[in-house]
């Protein structure tokens, strides 16, 4: 069986009544981009589409772009575990073995409620100037790690794209949600590894090299995210601008694979804050040890207290960072009991408990909820801003803007070239040479196939040719409009003079009737194959070039669209219509 690819799914979801078996999805409509085309969110081996149901409920539909062994059994076990544990940070889903029909064959999909919210890195980026909010988020992250451990589960791919902050029970608060459960560990799947290793910027080097599956596989990711939040709480926007690449939260895979060459690790290791210094040390030691030896975050940060580094651990870390990039001018480490320097706002001591703080401008940090409260929430005084569109966030990056500019320029040149190729000599079919009829056609008449050279009728006076002197320039033919019977036999002027307006009008009307149509095919950046019709305009570059995209449910040959294109062509403009 040939497995569907991204293009197959993109075409199928445009007809939900035909491709889906689930009642909610059959009555829905795929949410599209500015052109009305479905916009997939692509992952490692699946594309996710947003389907808006008839009742307004949005669904996330995950379509697999390659076969995954044991997919049905895996999702059944995960669904059963979530039903039993009822954790607020998880999202209910349904695995449909016969979910979507492609070329007459049914394929599986996962149906999940669509979750609107901030991706973790987007939320942090927008609140870099609110250290108290980052403090609260770090506390919630520790509690989420504890809840996952208590539930006997591990996510397998904790990273910025799979951690969302969504509207919570209160209108002024946000809660953490985890999505994408393909590589999740639950006890029922202990002997069935998923084969997925997670985002490399958040994973232990050993797991990326050799794999790793079990309850312990999230520990390193927990430590990476918590350390990044604490460092950004201190370093703020300056630190973010230096190391963000939109696919990480400060750290990259290379930082853990070659720590002695990491500028980031050297910089944050030398931060004059005891808590951050110790935390970076624990992360670095964990990255160089066995995956099974990574400490659990909730054990490393117990009741708000971070376990300090020993003298031996300090020496090992210094050795790991030696012989790499040039040091940044190391700051003196504060001695035990010495007052910590001021960073961006108050810095928590290793032994001080987090206190309730009220920021009148933006944020209120509440005391930790009781153990019975499962949802971890961050409170705001004002409603949370609208979620940032991941596509617009990506397109706002300078590299993407430059790429889009190049694509726009190339598209303009291609269309201009197509218009240029369509330009021919003016199709003047009612013009004859002032010479005797010849059996040989001129190149001009060969281009005008289907319009033979008109012959003189009997009784017409021949149009006289101007005299020429002997031994002069080569013979030149004069062209003039053919007279009809009964017209004044006065010879017309040579073609070097401006053509009368009436003659131009007659010529243009003839040209508009001869508009050429051409079937064209081209591919889009998302690998969609589009078919279109190019209506060549007789004005060439002097006319407009019109791109026409019909609305959903119709096609380029719908009578209304076709008449409009032909009408524009009749005026001399070039039109491109496509499905």
How does DSSP classify residue 90? S
CA distance 119 to 138: 15
Is residue 477 within 8 A of residue 453, CB to CB? The reply is no
**pLDDT in 10s for each residue of the chain, 579 residues:** 688 999 999 999 999 999 999 999 999 999 988 888 898 988 778 899 999 999 999 999 999 998 888 888 899 999 889 888 888 888 989 999 999 999 999 999 999 999 889 999 999 999 999 999 999 999 999 999 999 999 999 999 999 999 999 887 776 688 899 998 988 999 999 988 888 889 999 999 999 999 889 999 999 999 999 999 999 999 999 999 999 999 999 999 999 999 999 999 999 999 989 999 999 999 999 999 999 999 999 999 988 789 999 999 999 999 999 865 433 333 434 444 443 333 333 333 333 333 222 222 222 333 344 444 444 455 443 344 444 444 444 445 555 566 667 677 777 776 766 666 655 444 433 433 343 444 444 444 444 444 444 444 444 444 344 444 444 444 443 333 343 444 444 444 444 444 444 444 443 443 444 478 888 877 765 566 777 888 888 888 788 888 877 665 566 677 677 888 888 888 888 988 876
- Rounded to an integer, what is the distance from CA 404 to the centroid of its chain? 12
87 contacts 147 by C-beta, under 8 angstroms: yes
Domains of the chain as residue ranges with CATH: 6-113 (3.30.200), 118-333+355-388 (1.10.510.10), 403-422+516-578 (3.40.50.1820), 428-501 (no CATH)
Contacts of 541 (CB under 8 A, 6+ apart): 416, 419, 420, 423
Which structure tokens are listed for 81?
Answer: 């575990």
Which residues share a beta bridge with 97? Answer: none
Distances in whole angstroms, Cα of residue 331 to Cα of each of 273, 280, 327: 10, 15, 11
Name the DSSP letter for residue 201. Answer: G
Q: Which of 381, 383, 378, 384 is nearest to 139 (CA)?
A: 378
| CA separation for the pair 1, 4 (Å, rounded) | 9
Structure tokens at 318: 């210094």
């Amino acid at each position: 069986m040939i497995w569907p690819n991204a293009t197959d799914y993109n075409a199928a979801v445009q007809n939900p009544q035909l491709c889906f078996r689930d009642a909610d999805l059959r009555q829905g409509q795929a949410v599209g981009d500015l052109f009305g085309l479905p916009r997939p969110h692509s992952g490692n081996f699946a594309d996710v589409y947003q389907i808006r149901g008839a009742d307004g409920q949005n669904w996330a539909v995950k379509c697999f772009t390659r076969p995954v062994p044991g997919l049905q059994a895996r999702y059944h076990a995960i669904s059963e575990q979530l039903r039993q544990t009822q954790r607020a940070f998880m999202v209910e889903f349904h695995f449909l073995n016969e979910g979507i029909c492609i070329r007459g064959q049914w394929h599986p999909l996962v149906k999940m409620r669509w979750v609107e919210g901030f991706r973790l890195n987007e939320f942090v980026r927008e609140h870099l100037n609110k250290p108290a909010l980052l403090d609260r988020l770090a506390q919630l992250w520790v509690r989420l790690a504890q809840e996952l451990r208590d539930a006997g589960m591990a996510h397998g791919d904790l990273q910025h794209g799979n951690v969302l902050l969504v509207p919570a029970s209160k209108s002024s608060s946000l809660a953490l949600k985890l999505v994408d459960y393909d590589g999740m560990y639950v006890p029922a799947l202990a002997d069935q590894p998923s084969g997925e290793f997670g985002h490399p910027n958040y994973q232990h080097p050993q797991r990326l090299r050799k794999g790793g599956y079990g309850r312990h596989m999230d520990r390193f990711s927990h430590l990476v995210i918590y350390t990044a939040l604490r460092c950004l709480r201190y370093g703020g926007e300056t630190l973010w601008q230096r190391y963000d690449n939109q696919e990480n939260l400060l750290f990259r895979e290379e930082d853990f694979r070659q720590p002695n060459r990491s500028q980031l690790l050297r910089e944050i290791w030398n931060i004059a804050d005891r808590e951050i210094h110790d935390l970076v040390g624990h992360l670095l030691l964990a990255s160089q040890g066995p995956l099974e030896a990574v400490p659990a975050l909730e054990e490393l940060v117990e009741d708000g207290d971070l376990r300090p580094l020993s003298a031996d651990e300090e020496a090992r870390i210094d050795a790991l960072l030696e012989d790499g990039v040039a040091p940044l001018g190391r700051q003196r480490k504060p001695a035990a009991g010495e007052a910590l320097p001021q960073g961006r706002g108050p810095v928590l001591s290793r032994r001080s408990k987090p206190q309730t703080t009220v920021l009148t401008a933006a944020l209120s940090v509440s005391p930790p909820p009781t153990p019975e409260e499962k949802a971890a929430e961050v409170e705001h005084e004002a409603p949370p801003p609208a979620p940032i569109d991941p596509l617009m966030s990506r397109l706002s990056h300078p590299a993407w803007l430059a790429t889009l500019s190049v694509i726009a320029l190339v598209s303009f040149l291609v269309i201009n070239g197509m218009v240029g190729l369509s330009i021919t000599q003016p199709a003047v079919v009612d013009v004859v040479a002032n010479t005797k009829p010849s059996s040989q056609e001129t190149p001009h008449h060969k281009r005008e196939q289907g319009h033979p050279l008109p012959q003189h009728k009997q009784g017409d006076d021949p149009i006289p040719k101007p005299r020429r002197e002997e031994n002069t320039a080569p013979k030149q033919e004069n062209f003039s409009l053919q007279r009809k019977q009964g017209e004044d036999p006065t010879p017309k002027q040579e073609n070097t003079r401006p053509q009368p307006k009436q003659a131009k009008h007659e010529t243009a009307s003839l040209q508009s009737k001869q508009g050429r149509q051409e079937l064209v095919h081209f591919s889009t950046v998302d690998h969609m194959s589009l078919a279109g019709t190019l209506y060549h305009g007789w004005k060439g570059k002097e006319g407009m070039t019109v791109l026409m995209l019909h609305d959903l449910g119709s096609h380029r040959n719908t009578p209304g669209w076709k008449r409009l294109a032909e009408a524009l062509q009749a005026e001399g403009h070039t039109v491109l219509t496509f499905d």
